[in-house]
């Protein structure tokens, strides 16, 4: 079997953990499997590198930043090769350039396009355990790029797809994907399985277990993933196309506090105004999430929407500058909000999920400010201070607990 294993930064944070991972790699190798391992930078190395760069230049060029950040992963793979060699196993580390991990040219947020096989295949033929740097690639200028924070997951899935691996395992410091963040919802439990679509929603809702793109790629190429802990032998969560074992309406509750709501009041009730407003934001690459337009009151209407808090200031200033063009009277905003969502493939074919969620919030006396739904997700915007209570109430009412 060819197995791709990915270990996150916390799994290789120090000497003990490096050897712990080395032993887990060896388990498969000893059984005669071919093993390709993707590693992240140790512990909070990437954060520290970011800080260090900003001490030198507050606004560093993205090219140099990628050149710099990619060193974290290079350290990890070389150290792991040394660890494996020290316990008597043949291992070789390779960076993105050596493998040939080709990406788009956008620095700091590059997309993987193609992975060369030759080097990896020839090292596997030599019976080497291969350690590949996560998170990085090379672009057509032969410059180093990075895939965005958390991007090592994507490296692993892309490698598994390219090499047609038999297994792709993502090791982290939690035992899998949970019905909710266990730090917020003590009753949360680990899921045995989850679909790609559910996982995608959860990942984009801020559940930090898997990088968004990695799930997209896994779905696209049908790579079944296992998310599990490097610190225990627990089974983990399988991410795949369809789940049969658990016929649950909802598989998880997630919250996102990086949300702000902006409302433009008194917009002329005529065609083209929403277009005007959102094209201004789109031009500045400001993503909007939930959008709500009030019913026209004869002459005017209100449009409110949410965006991430990091975008709030810029969004406000664009709207203020163009208020006349949008024909709005004034702008209001609220930063003390959070988005709470339930995700479940089962809701596509079941009614009553929304009402159950709203009932839970009503029972907890939590006011809903905005609502949005998709096939497999319902999100509500509430006051930030109610987040934890809302999550617990919803989790309870869907009986997602242990
Ligand atoms: N080291 C990178 C980060 O911290 C990539 C990763 O961990 O997946 O974002
Ligand atoms: Mg990660």
Q: What angle do CA 198, 107, 12 make, to 5 degrees?
A: 60
- pLDDT at position 351 is 81
Ligand 1 atom at minimal distance to the Cα of residue 147: 5
- 151: Cβ below 6 Å to ligand 1? yes
- Residue that is written with structure tokens 């990085």 in the block: 136
* CA 31 – ligand 1 centroid, Å: 30
- 152: Cβ below 6 Å to ligand 1? yes
Query: Within a domain: residue 111?
Result: yes
Q: What is the CA radius of gyration of the chain?
A: 23
- pLDDT at position 350 is 81
- pLDDT at position 319 is 97
- pLDDT at position 249 is 81
Helix (H, G, I), strand (E, B) or coil at 305: strand
- pLDDT at position 209 is 86
- 137: Cβ below 6 Å to ligand 1? no
Asked if residues 350 and 343 have their Cβ atoms less than 8 Å apart, the reply is no
Each as own residue / partner, the long-range contacts of residues 28-34 (CB below 8 Å, 24 or more positions apart, any chain) are 28/3, 29/89, 29/129, 33/1, 33/2, 33/3, 34/1, 34/2, 34/3, 34/124
- pLDDT at position 245 is 54
Q: Strand 136-138 to strand 144-146: parallel, antiparallel, or no bridges (unpaired)? A: antiparallel
For ligand 1, mutation pick of 7, 13, 44, 46 (most atoms within 8 Å of CB): 46
- 40: Cβ below 6 Å to ligand 1? yes
* CA 392 – ligand 1 centroid, Å: 30
For ligand 1, mutation pick of 6, 7, 8, 9 (most atoms within 8 Å of CB): 9
* CA 162 – ligand 2 centroid, Å: 21
* CA 173 – ligand 2 centroid, Å: 10
Phi-psi region of 168 (alpha: psi -120 to 50; beta: other; left: phi over 0): beta
Non-local (6+) Cβ contacts of 314 within 8 A are 284, 286
Task: Quote the CA–CA distance of 322 and 331 in Å, as a whole number.
Answer: 11
Query: Within a domain: residue 232?
Result: no
Asked if residues 379 and 373 have their Cβ atoms less than 8 Å apart, the reply is yes
Task: Quote the CA–CA distance of 348 and 174 in Å, as a whole number.
Answer: 29
- Dihedral angle of Cα 133, 127, 218, 161, to the nearest 10 degrees: 100
Query: Within a domain: residue 118?
Result: yes
- Dihedral angle of Cα 88, 89, 94, 98, to the nearest 10 degrees: 110
Q: Count how many domains the chain has.
A: 1
* CA 108 – ligand 1 centroid, Å: 11
Query: What are the CA-CA distances from residue 179 to residues 113, 188, 192 (Å)?
Result: 33, 5, 10
- pLDDT at position 349 is 79
**pLDDT tens digit at each of 402 positions of the chain:** 999 999 999 999 999 999 999 999 999 999 999 999 999 999 999 999 999 999 999 999 999 999 999 999 999 999 999 999 999 999 999 999 999 999 999 999 999 999 999 999 999 999 999 999 999 999 999 999 999 999 999 999 999 999 999 999 999 999 999 999 988 999 999 999 999 999 999 888 867 789 999 999 999 999 999 999 999 999 999 999 987 755 678 999 999 999 999 999 999 999 999 999 999 999 998 999 999 999 987 889 999 999 999 999 999 999 999 999 999 999 999 999 999 999 998 888 788 899 999 999 999 999 999 999 999 999 999 999 999 999 999 999 998 876
Q: Whose CA is nearest to atom 8 of ligand 1?
A: 150
Query: Within a domain: residue 29?
Result: yes
Burial (CB count within 10 angstroms: exposed 0-12, middle 13-18, buried 19+), residue 350: exposed
Ligand nearest to the CA of 12: 1
* CA 135 – ligand 1 centroid, Å: 6
Task: Quote the CA–CA distance of 32 and 328 in Å, as a whole number.
Answer: 68
- 70: Cβ below 6 Å to ligand 1? no
- 10: Cβ below 6 Å to ligand 1? no
Q: Whose CA is nearest to atom 6 of ligand 1?
A: 150
Helix (H, G, I), strand (E, B) or coil at 187: coil
Non-local (6+) Cβ contacts of 98 within 8 A are 119
Query: Within a domain: residue 50?
Result: yes
In the chain, count H helices and then E strands: 13, 18
- 43: Cβ below 6 Å to ligand 1? no
Ligand nearest to the CA of 156: 1
Put the strands of the sheet holding 237-240 in their side by side order.
91-94, 129-133, 34-39, 2-7, 167-172, 225-229, 237-240, 193-195
Residues bordering ligand 2, an ion, CB closer than 5 Å = 8, 150
Ligand 1 atom at minimal distance to the Cα of residue 148: 9
Asked if residues 242 and 376 have their Cβ atoms less than 8 Å apart, the reply is no
Q: What is the CATH number of the domain that holds 88?
A: 3.40.1160.10
Query: Within a domain: residue 377?
Result: no
- 89: Cβ below 6 Å to ligand 1? no
Q: Is the pTM of this model over 0.75?
A: yes
Burial (CB count within 10 angstroms: exposed 0-12, middle 13-18, buried 19+), residue 293: middle
Task: Quote the CA–CA distance of 188 and 250 in Å, as a whole number.
Answer: 13
- 149: Cβ below 6 Å to ligand 1? yes
Non-local (6+) Cβ contacts of 227 within 8 A are 170, 172, 176, 177, 209, 210, 236, 237, 239
Closest CA to 319 of 296, 300, 299, 302: 302
The 8-class DSSP code of residue 89 comes to: -
Ligand 1 atom at minimal distance to the Cα of residue 211: 8
Query: Within a domain: residue 14?
Result: yes
- pLDDT at position 125 is 98
Query: Within a domain: residue 58?
Result: yes
Task: Quote the CA–CA distance of 115 and 96 in Å, as a whole number.
Answer: 9
- 327: Cβ below 6 Å to ligand 1? no
* CA 45 – ligand 1 centroid, Å: 9
Domain extent, residue 107, equals 2-173
Q: Whose CA is nearest to atom 5 of ligand 1?
A: 150
- 9: Cβ below 6 Å to ligand 1? yes
Task: Quote the CA–CA distance of 313 and 303 in Å, as a whole number.
Answer: 18
């Amino acid at each position: 079997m060819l197995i791709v294993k990915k270990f996150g930064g916390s799994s290789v944070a120090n000497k003990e953990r490096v050897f712990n991972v080395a032993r887990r790699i060896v388990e498969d190798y000893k059984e005669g499997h071919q093993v390709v391992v993707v590693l992240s930078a140790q512990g909070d190395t990437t954060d520290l590198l970011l800080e260090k760069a900003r001490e030198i230049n507050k606004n560093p060029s993205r090219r140099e930043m990628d050149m710099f950040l990619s060193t974290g992963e290079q350290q990890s793979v070389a150290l792991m090769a040394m660890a494996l060699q020290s316990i008597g196993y043949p291992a070789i580390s390779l960076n993105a350039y050596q493998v040939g991990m080709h990406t788009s040219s956008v620095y700091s947020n590059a997309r993987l396009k193609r992975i060369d096989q030759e080097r990896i295949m020839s090292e596997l033929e030599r019976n080497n355990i291969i350690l590949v740097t996560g998170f990085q690639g090379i672009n057509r200028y032969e410059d180093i790029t990075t895939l965005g924070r958390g991007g090592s997951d994507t490296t692993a899935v892309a490698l598994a797809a390219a090499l047609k691996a038999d297994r792709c395992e993502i090791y982290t410091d939690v035992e899998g994907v949970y019905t909710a963040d266990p730090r917020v919802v003590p009753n949360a439990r680990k899921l045995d399985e989850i679909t790609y679509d559910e996982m995608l929603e959860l990942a984009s809702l801020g559940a930090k277990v898997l990088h968004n793109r990695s799930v997209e790629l896994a779905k696209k190429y049908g790579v079944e993933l296992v998310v599990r802990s490097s610190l225990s032998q627990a089974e983990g969560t399988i991410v795949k196309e369809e789940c049969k074992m658990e016929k649950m309406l909802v598989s998880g509750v997630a919250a996102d506090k990086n949300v702000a709501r902006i409302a433009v009041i008194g917009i002329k009730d005529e065609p083209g105004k929403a277009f005007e407003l959102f094209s201004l934001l789109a031009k500045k690459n400001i993503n909007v999430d939930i959008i709500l337009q009030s019913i026209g009151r004869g002459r005017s209407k209100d449009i409110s929407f949410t965006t991430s808090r990091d975008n709030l200031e810029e969004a406000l200033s664009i709207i203020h500058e163009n208020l006349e063009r949008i024909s709005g009277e004034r702008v209001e905003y609220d930063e003390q909000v959070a988005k709470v969502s339930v995700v479940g493939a089962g809701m596509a074919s079941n009614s009553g999920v929304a009402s159950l969620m709203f009932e839970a919030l009503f029972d907890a006396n939590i006011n809903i400010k905005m609502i949005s739904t998709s096939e497999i997700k319902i999100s509500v915007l509430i006051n930030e201070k109610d987040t934890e209570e809302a999550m617990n109430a919803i989790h309870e009412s869907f009986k997602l607990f242990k």
